[in-house]
Amino acid sequence: MNDKRLPELLAPAGSFECLLAAVEAGADAIYVGGKRFGARAFAKNFDLEELSRAAVYCRLHGVRLYVTVNTLVDDKEFPELIEYAAELYRIGVDALIIADLGAIAEIKRCVPGLELHASTQMSVHNTEGAIAAKKLGASRVVLARELPLSEIKNAVRESGCEIEVFLHGALCVSYSGQCLFSSLVGGRSGNRGECAQPCRLPYNGKYPISLKDLSLADHIPALIESGVASLKIEGRMKSADYVYTVTKIYRTLLDEERAANAEEKEALRRAFSRGGFTDAYFKGNPALPMTGIRSESDKEDSRANVQRSFEPNRVKVRATASIHLGKPASMTLTDGVRTVSVVGATPAPAENAPLDPESTRARLAKMGNTYLSLSVDDIELSLDEGVNLAPSALNALRRDAAEKFESVSRPLPNFDYVPKRYAQVGARNITTAKFFSEKLYNDLIADLGDLDKFIDIPFIPVFSEDSSLSSKVGVY
């Protein structure tokens, strides 16, 4: 890890290859999305198995892993959300990035050991907002991208919680999470992770609301001095090459505590640009020109970059194995920092083909699909003569040692989650359905009969006094 006074460098990963690229480029932490509740629904994203593998890989490389749960959550989704959060905690995810106030409160109540960060989608744009998020249970707040340096410093100094700010990447034309444009024109809600980015389209032949990407490459010393805990790169929809290039440049700038030079700025531009970059919000001067589009020239420059492939960087370990007659076989793995030991089956006297050191080391060195690498030369073997241990037992010994070394699992918290919106009436759950006129309710009863059967849950009708909404009906 880096000097403690440096902010964490937080990189995006929309796929496992992007995660590999971020680790290789020197990220301190990586944020990813799962298949549900993420604000980038159209990224590849990670299922639970992939998230578990990602947690293992990040832990082995000393990198923290955060998962976005940054859409607004409906009542009916809370049971699934809480189960999902508990499973993420179990597999070793370091924190969740949350946008919904109720979700923060409920996850903190049900999975108290799980670290929570208030997402920029929450639009925390002042110190009081950061203090409120902390009271709910957030240990970190990702500030709105529209704040100037002076207000970022205030939040760091006064809020009492960690402050994270965006360092590089796309800007929303609205405060993040507050724009309804995509929902209104195409039925794809940005608050549910489905933004179609209509702000990037032309209107009357012009692009009046397409913003350039943010870049604070000129302000690294000021950001370090501000005391922010984390600097975040946007880009979960971007390629692995983009993630590597941008993360690598900012890793260098942070380590050397300096602003970018002309060559580094050009590399950032070629990685992805919409006619250049902007830092107008950070400077507190949004009157500066901020609009830009992804021109054909920009696209050509990005395509001309060298395309890399990224493979797992396996952690080298050493081993000690002991196979003695009458004692359970044992194996220890270490990388010099972490050490684990396991025991296996007890060897028996060999009848005709005793174990030999060379073949035993070869079998123990096969790390298979793990993220570990073990050379036969790095195995210290203590082996009795004339003993035998079945190949399956040797494989199990090696497999148990590798799994234990990679393991990040934690015990699930004990909770029995019942959504607060439900009340028990006998053996049945009830909820309410709000109707904006009694006539509408009666018309539905006449047309549909038993509404409990129609909506598949029993409900109590509640009528609104707002007559202007008399043509609408909602189930809550």
Write out the DSSP string of 111-175. -TTSEEEE-GGG---SHHHHHHHHHHT-SEEE--TT--HHHHHHHHHHS-SEEEEEEEE---SSS
Helix (H) or strand (E) run with residue 341 in it: strand 339-343
pLDDT attached to residue 293: 94
User: Length of the chain, please?
Assistant: 476
pLDDT attached to residue 467: 44
Distance CA 217, CA 233 (A): 11
pLDDT attached to residue 41: 52
Distance CA 104, CA 126 (A): 19
**Which structure tokens are listed for 131?**
């203090």
Helix (H) or strand (E) run with residue 33 in it: strand 29-33
Distance CA 236, CA 233 (A): 9
Find out whether 96 and 117 touch, Cβ atoms under 8 Å: yes
pLDDT attached to residue 449: 57
pLDDT attached to residue 195: 82
Q: For 99-129, b where at least 16 C-beta lie within 10 A, e where not — what string?
A: bbbebbbbbbebbeebbbbbbbbbbbbbbeb
Distance CA 343, CA 322 (A): 9
Q: Which residues of the chain have pLDDT under 70?
A: 1-4, 38-44, 177, 415-416, 418-476
pLDDT attached to residue 361: 97
**Which structure tokens are listed for 156?**
């760091």
**Which structure tokens are listed for 40?**
């980038």
Q: For 309-341, b where at least 16 C-beta lie within 10 A, e where not — what string?
A: ebebeebebbbbbbbeeeeebbbbbeeeeeebe
DSSP 103: H
pLDDT attached to residue 414: 73
Summarize pLDDT for 166-209 with one digit per residue, the tens. 999 999 888 876 788 888 888 887 777 788 888 999 999 999 99
pTM of this prediction? 0.84
Amino acid at the residue 177 = G
Q: Is 227 left (phi over 0), alpha (psi -120 to 50) or beta?
A: left
pLDDT attached to residue 427: 44
Find out whether 169 and 145 touch, Cβ atoms under 8 Å: no
Summarize pLDDT for 229-271 with one digit per residue, the tens. 999 999 998 999 999 999 999 999 999 999 999 999 999 999 9
pLDDT attached to residue 34: 87
